[in-house]
C-alpha cells in the first residue's frame, strides 16, 4: 500500500518494520499513523511497513509491541531503491477461486465480472493476506444471486465489490476508519459499482441492526470483535441466511464457533489457509 506522499518520493533509504503473528485489524492504520510511507502485505501473512528514518521505524515498532498483541516485530534498513517502481513491481494479481483482485495499472480491456479492481491504500484487503482470500472463497460458496449483503469492516471494499460481482442486488459496506472509507470509495468507483454498493461510515454494531436484515453478512475482522458483534449479527441476518466470519486464527476458532453455536448459528463449513480460518454459518 502506498499513500500520496510516498508516490512523490523516488529514491530514499528506507527502514522496514516487519510484523507477523496475530495481526490485528487496526495494524495498517497504526503503522501509517506512526509515519509509514507504504505497507506491503506478503503471502505469508506478514506486513512490512517502510519508514524514511531509523527513529520513526523504531518508534513504530515500539507502538506495535505496546498494543500487547501476540506479534513478532523486526526492523531492518533496506537498500536505496526507486520506491514507486519497486512497489508496483511487487503488486501482482491475486486469484481466489474464480475471481481475481488486480491493481488499476494491471487491468486490461473491458471490465470483467470475475475481476475486482483494488487501488492499494490504507484499506485492508488487497488479496495478499490469507484472511482476505478465505473470506473471498467463502463468499463464492454462498448463493448471492439477487441477495442483499453487508460487508462489516470493509477496508478496501474488496469483499463488498466481490459480492456485487457475484450477483448481489445490493451491498452495504460498513467501515469506521476514515482512511479506509476513502480507499473503499475509490475502489467502488473504479469498479463502476456506485449504484449497487453503499458505503456507510460508522460503527457496525449500531448500523447493522438498523439497515438489515440481510441474506448474507460477511465480516473479515478479528475473533474478539466477532464475539462483540454476535448479537448484531444475529438480528441482522434473515432466517436461513448466511454469516461469513473471517480473520480468525486457528487457535481462536473453536471458542468463537462455540459462542456462535450458543446463539443458534449452525456451521455449514469452514475454509482455512495456513493459520487463518473463516466460517460459513447459517441462522
Residues of the chain with pLDDT > 90: what percent? 63
What confidence score (pLDDT) does residue 84 get?
Answer: 58
pLDDT at residue number 11: 53
Q: Identify which has the larger pLDDT, 103 or 244.
A: 244
Q: How many helices (H) and strands (E) does the chain have?
A: 10, 14
Look at 55 and 5; give whichever has higher pLDDT.
55
Predicted TM-score (pTM) of the model is 0.73
φ/ψ of 16, rounded to 5, equals -95, 135
According to the model, what pLDDT value does residue 83 have? 56
pLDDT at 3: 43
Mind listing the pLDDT tens digit for each residue in 43-96?
677 889 999 899 999 999 999 999 988 889 999 888 765 655 666 677 788 899
pLDDT surpasses 70 at 125: no
- Sorted by sequence, the CB contacts under 8 Å of residue 66 that are 6+ apart come out as none
Quick one: average pLDDT of 236-255? 96
Q: Among the listed ranges 23-27, 101-105, 222-226, which one has the minimum average pLDDT value? A: 23-27
pLDDT at residue number 4: 41
Rounded distance, CA 21 to CA 129, Å? 12
Report residue 122's pLDDT band, with 50, 70 and 90 as the boundaries: low
pLDDT exceeds 90 at position 99: yes
Domains and CATH numbers, the chain: 4-89 (3.30.70.980), 91-282 (3.40.50.150)
Closest CA to 163 of 206, 99, 74: 99
pLDDT value for 218: 98
DSSP 185-220: HHHHHHTT-TTTEEEEES-HHHHHHHH--EEEEEEE
pLDDT for position 21: 82
Count other C-beta atoms under 10 Å from residue 170's C-beta: 17
Distance CA 197, CA 159 (A): 11
Q: For residue 204, what is its C-alpha cell? A: 457496525
Please write the tens of the pLDDT for every residue from 137-194.
999 999 999 999 999 999 999 999 999 999 999 999 999 988 899 999 999 999 999 9
Least confident of 16-25, 130-139, 188-197: 16-25
Report, as an integer, the average pLDDT of 10-29.
79
The overall average pLDDT reported for the chain is 88
Q: Pick from 55, 64, 63: which is nearest to 15 by CA? A: 55
pLDDT at site 10: 47
Amino acid at each position: 500500500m502506498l499513500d500520496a506522499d510516498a508516490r512523490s518520493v523516488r529514491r530514499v533509504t528506507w527502514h522496514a518494520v516487519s510484523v507477523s503473528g496475530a495481526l490485528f485489524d487496526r495494524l495498517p492504520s497504526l503503522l501509517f499513523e506512526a509515519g509509514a510511507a507504504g505497507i506491503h502485505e506478503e503471502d505469508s501473512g506478514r506486513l512490512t511497513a517502510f519508514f524514511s528514518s531509523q527513529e520513526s521505524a523504531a518508534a513504530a515498532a515500539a507502538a506495535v509491541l505496546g498494543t500487547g498483541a501476540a506479534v513478532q516485530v523486526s526492523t531492518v534498513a533496506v537498500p536505496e531503491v526507486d520506491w514507486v517502481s519497486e512497489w508496483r513491481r511487487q503488486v501482482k494479481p491475486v486469484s481466489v477461486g474464480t475471481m481475481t483482485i488486480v491493481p488499476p495499472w494491471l487491468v486490461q480491456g473491458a471490465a470483467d465480472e470475475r475481476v475486482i479492481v483494488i487501488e492499494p491504500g490504507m484499506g485492508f484487503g488487497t488479496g495478499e493476506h490469507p484472511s482476505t482470500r478465505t473470506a473471498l472463497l467463502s463468499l463464492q460458496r454462498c448463493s448471492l444471486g439477487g441477495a442483499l449483503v453487508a460487508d462489516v469492516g470493509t477496508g478496501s471494499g474488496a469483499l463488498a465489490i466481490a459480492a456485487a460481482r457475484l450477483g448481489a442486488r445490493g451491498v452495504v459496506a460498513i467501515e469506521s476508519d476514515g482512511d479506509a472509507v476513502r480507499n473503499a470509495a475509490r475502489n467502488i468507483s473504479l469498479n463502476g459499482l456506485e449504484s449497487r454498493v453503499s458505503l456507510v461510515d460508522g460503527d457496525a454494531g449500531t448500523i447493522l441492526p438498523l439497515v438489515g436484515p440481510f441474506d448474507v453478512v460477511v465480516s473479515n475482522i478479528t475473533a474478539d470483535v466477532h464475539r462483540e458483534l454476535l448479537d448484531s449479527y444475529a438480528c441482522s441476518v434473515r432466517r436461513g441466511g448466511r454469516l461469513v466470519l473471517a480473520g480468525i486464527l486457528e487457535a481462536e476458532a473453536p471458542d468463537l464457533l462455540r459462542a456462535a453455536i450458543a446463539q443458534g448459528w449452525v456451521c455449514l463449513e469452514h475454509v482455512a489457509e495456513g493459520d487463518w480460518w473463516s466460517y460459513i454459518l447459517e441462522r
